[in-house]
Structure 1
Amino acid sequence: METMKVFRVLFSLCLLLQFGHAAAGSDELERGEAVFSSHCVSCHGAAGQPDPESALVKALGVVPANFSDKLFNSREPVSDWKTVVTDGGPALGFSEMMPAFGGVLSESDINAVLAYVKTGIGGEHDYPDGDLNLFLPLRTKKAFPEDEWVWKQRYSGLDGDDAWKNTLEYEFRLGTRAQGILEVTYEDKGSTSEFGHFEPGFKYVLKHDRRAGFILAGAAQIGVPLNNDAHWEFLPYIAVGKVINEGLTFQGSGRLKLDLEDSDHSSAEFAGVVHWTYTSLPRNVFPALEFVAEVPFERGTGAERKDAVQLSMLPQARIGLNKRGNIALNVGVELPLNDTDRYDWRGYVYFIWDFADGGLLEGW
């Protein structure tokens, strides 16, 4: 019952977060179209679709971005495009053939042409926008659908044998709003080392609004045991993301960890994180603070009795490794705030490769 109350509060919070900014005005779009016609059409085409057979494109040696491709148009945040328009393609590891317009166009002209590319050329579509692709936290679940490999490592300092947990996760877009998930875990507990679970899953974006900076998704995974001690699990969750302002983002999630063979080992998990996004350049260090509350279904008795809600804090940082930031690390430490017999501390390192934005050797 307490778990359902927390889920209702979380859902209410999701509704309250849906406030946003005004849409681009018609004057701005007209101005953006004029800028596009004057400075962009020759390479990118009148409708945002370059002609690979044109003499100019052949002379460039690279086909310019196709803004009429709605998936491509939606993938990246406007801040990345603004960096490329202002400072040129090499600023984010793209082609040198993309010139810098920062000395030619005013900032308002650049903002207008980007609004036109997103709204006028991109048009209406149902792909969640890249502005809602917030940084991956350590424990909080993401709402945005990804094309990504993530290698997660967790070290737990325990009384007795310390423990390592390795997780390899493959995430892939399905259609406009959905994502498939394939995840496998391997655990080393000092005296034993073995695979833990294989966790296939599915995520679907329930609501997204670029102008409001808001996204909400629901997902579920199945934990398939890969050793004799592991149990079948069902892991449904909801996740929300919100762009608070240019310097801060918030993400939250609520998840049930249901042991299908022994319900006493089930629990609920609620997490939230705030990232400080102080710059639009991806190759930087972005600090964050995350809090997690776990609610065990069975608390036990006597000296082994668990707290009703187990709290932990996770200071962490996203570290963009290449210019595009699609290859990155997320590092942090988890500190129990109560029920400290669970573990002394936990260290995390995530290696992230968003392969839709380029290969491992690109963008450096």
Structure 2
Amino acid sequence: MSSLPSRPRASLSLPTLLSLVALFTMLAGLALAPTLVAQGQANRTGKQIYDAACAACHGPDGRGMPQSTVGFTVPVADFTPCTFNTREPSGDWAAIVHDGGPVRAFDRLMPAFGEALTWDEIEKVVAYIKGFCADKAWPRGELNFPRAIATEKAYPEDEAVITSSILMGGNGSAANKFIYEHRFGARNQCEVIVPYTMANRPVDGWSSGIGDVALGAKRAVYHDLASGRILSVAGEVVLPTGNRERGFGKGYTVFEPFVSFGQALPSDGFFQFQGGMEIPTDRDHADEAFWRIAVGKSFARGRFGRTWSPMVELLAVKELEEGVATQWDVLPG
């Protein structure tokens, strides 16, 4: 029986072997290039990301480039004023970086970087931008917890608010308040509250008028972003501007000193406290102590959608006279 012919052996010269090794190494490097680039981007600092993605319009110092450089007439945001930089929480800034200006009602010229930057990079660049406000006396917007119905927040605000309430019992009434809050300096706020009431009186029917106007001031004495805490001292003077006979005012001045405290809780929860006294100038009326607590949680529609913050308030009032019981109330909001 004849044997099968043997298969010839392939032999590689040393130069050919070295060439194949070099080719394999090159192909492996090309395959790993995207991973290496991504790792390099992940290791970039907030400044490096800002310089690469933001400085062309907003300038290397955060003050914004001139119109002649950017080529459009829409003003570019200046990140350096602390009154602008600290007002909103970092989450709102991240939403604009991720989805572009329209997500927070800014111009479409602010592009979206959600596909160009990772979430970690967006957090880094927002933290860097927040650093353009070098004065740490300004409380950050993360400590501006949702407004409760009765409990005064500790954060110094800069806004105008109109509130309304309707009393269905008795003869019926509708109460409105115009609240103007103006922030000045890093920690301070002044306030004007103008109530306007419509009431159905048994004698002469419906009537309306301005109530007792209040003037107030607030100062944040402590705030810490890392712990999520803010503490303020405040005071109001309620003036007898309302008509007492028609039920729109008390007829005497009331001083109201108080403290307000806010605490961030896990999972977007929050706790707020207000405690103080009402001291009437008419000494026929007793001084009152009051304390109010609001606890709630914020829910957002999607990552950057509208936020809903349900809460419940526990209210207590006690006249500082012997034998007078504390009055308690629960207020959902």
SS in 2 for 1:94: coil
User: Would the aligned equivalents of 1:146 and 1:171 in 2 still touch at CA under 8 Å?
Assistant: yes
Distance 1:32 1:266 in 2: 54
Query: Unaligned regions of 5+ residues in structure 2, if any?
Result: 1-41, 202-206, 245-249
1:247 is matched by which residue type in structure 2? D
Residues 29 and 291 of structure 1: CA distance in aligned 2, closer, same or farther (over 3 Å) = farther
Matched, 1:313 2:330: yes
SS in 2 for 1:225: coil
Matched, 1:222 2:237: yes
TM-score, normalised by the number of residues in structure 1: 0.72
SS in 2 for 1:190: strand
Residues 29 and 131 of structure 1: CA distance in aligned 2, closer, same or farther (over 3 Å) = farther
Partner of 1:176: 186
Deviations 1:37-64 (A, max 9, x none): 11011011001111224421xx232122
Matched, 1:64 2:76: yes
Distance 2:45 2:235 in 1: 45
Residues 95 and 29 of structure 1: CA distance in aligned 2, closer, same or farther (over 3 Å) = farther
Residues 282 and 291 of structure 1: CA distance in aligned 2, closer, same or farther (over 3 Å) = farther
Matched, 1:270 2:282: no
SS in 2 for 1:108: helix
Distance 1:29 1:309 in 2: 59
In the TM superposition, residue 298 of structure 1 has moved relative to its aligned partner by 4.3
User: Would the aligned equivalents of 1:50 and 1:64 in 2 still touch at CA under 8 Å?
Assistant: yes
SS in 1 for 2:139: coil
Matched, 1:291 2:314: yes
After the TM superposition, which residues 30-109 of structure 1 pair with which residues of structure 2 at under 5 Å, given as runs?
A: 31-56=45-70, 59-109=71-121
Deviations 1:195-251 (A, max 9, x none): 221111111111111222111111111111014532211011110111113420111
Distance 1:285 1:115 in 2: 25
Residues 53 and 88 of structure 1: CA distance in aligned 2, closer, same or farther (over 3 Å) = closer
In the TM superposition, residue 295 of structure 1 has moved relative to its aligned partner by 1.2
Partner of 2:176: 166
Distance 2:297 2:272 in 1: 12
User: Would the aligned equivalents of 1:29 and 1:113 in 2 still touch at CA under 8 Å?
Assistant: no
SS in 1 for 2:296: strand
Distance 2:133 2:158 in 1: 20
Larger Rg: 2
User: Would the aligned equivalents of 2:218 and 2:235 in 1 still touch at CA under 8 Å?
Assistant: yes
Residues 282 and 180 of structure 1: CA distance in aligned 2, closer, same or farther (over 3 Å) = farther
Query: Unaligned regions of 5+ residues in structure 1, if any?
Result: 1-27, 301-305, 317-364
Matched, 1:185 2:200: no
User: Would the aligned equivalents of 1:289 and 1:315 in 2 still touch at CA under 8 Å?
Assistant: yes
TM-score, normalised by the number of residues in structure 2: 0.78
Partner of 1:123: 134
Matched, 1:142 2:159: no
User: Would the aligned equivalents of 1:77 and 1:130 in 2 still touch at CA under 8 Å?
Assistant: yes
In the TM superposition, residue 297 of structure 1 has moved relative to its aligned partner by 2.7
Deviations 1:243-262 (A, max 9, x none): 11342011110121222103
Report how many aligned residue pairs link the two structures.
279
Residues 102 and 228 of structure 1: CA distance in aligned 2, closer, same or farther (over 3 Å) = closer
